[in-house]
Chain A
Amino acid sequence: KQEVTQIPAALSVPEGENLVLNCSFTDSAIYNLQWFRQDPGKGLTSLLLIQSSQREQTSGRLNASLDKSSGRSTLYIAASQPGDSATYLCAVEGNKLVFGAGTILRVKS
């Protein structure tokens, strides 16, 4: 049974800092890994998708890496801004999409 763990559960940083969110999963037989953003009371926005054959994906200030063999992914956010404050969710797809519990990020101005 796939289990996804995200560390830390919550993170508060001053504006401008670079930060790393961590995701680990127990079953490496996955097709892909997705990082999502969820704002309070809102839906999920897909940020990055990494195919199982890929090592990383970049979009703007976001960079996500995937080490499938060790069951780990990181989401790197450069030069954080208050608008980055949200919950970040990691999800892996095997025969279904399994989510972690998320990291609540607060960027202070």
Chain B
Amino acid sequence: DTAVSQTPKYLVTQMGNDKSIKCEQNLGHDTMYWYKQDSKKFLKIMFSYNNKELIINETVPNRFSPKSPDKAHLNLHINSLELGDSAVYFCASSQWEGGNGAEAFFGQGTRLTVV
């Protein structure tokens, strides 16, 4: 069973389009994340949701809008796509364990190419 699954795996689209990436986790975790990995392979957090509530928003353009219908799903909608949005987007989840923090589990990534 896939713990954190994202769809689609690949997404090629034209500039100006609107697209969505879906993420689901079956681990029962209470926190979900979106990360962006740029062309230099650097991973940076974009958003974090805990029990469907936004807790981290890392100065991401408001063209990016995460939506969490329930704590097992966190979808990413992107409006008016730009060339610079081309990257690999990773979804992740974790379960807060108090003073020990949380081990993060990642999906396989969605490679977005904007042409």
Enumerate chain B residues within 8 angstroms of A63, measured Cβ to Cβ: none
The residues in B between 66 and 113 inclusive whose CB is less than 8 angstroms from any CB of A are 90, 92, 99-109, 111
Interface residues on B, range: 20 to 34
Known: A46-B104, A89-B43. A96 touches B48 (CB 8 A): yes
CB <8 Å contact, B40 and A43: no
How many residues in A have their beta carbons less than 8 Å from beta carbons of B? 26
How many A-B pairs fall under 8 Å by CB? 59
Interface residue A67 (Cβ < 8 Å from any Cβ of B): no
Interface residue A99 (Cβ < 8 Å from any Cβ of B): yes
Task: Kindly identify which residue among B99, B103, B107 contacts A46, using a CB–CB cutoff of 8 Å.
Answer: B103
Interface residue A75 (Cβ < 8 Å from any Cβ of B): no
Give Cα A98 to B10, complex, Å: 25
The residues in A between 16 and 71 inclusive whose CB is less than 8 angstroms from any CB of B are 30-32, 34, 36, 41-46, 49, 51-53
CB <8 Å contact, B102 and A42: no
CB <8 Å contact, A101 and B40: yes
Q: Which residues of B contact A (CB under 8 A)?
A: 33, 40-45, 48, 56, 58, 90, 92, 99-109, 111
Q: Which residues of A contact B (CB under 8 A)?
A: 30-32, 34, 36, 41-46, 49, 51-53, 87, 89, 91, 93, 95-99, 101-102
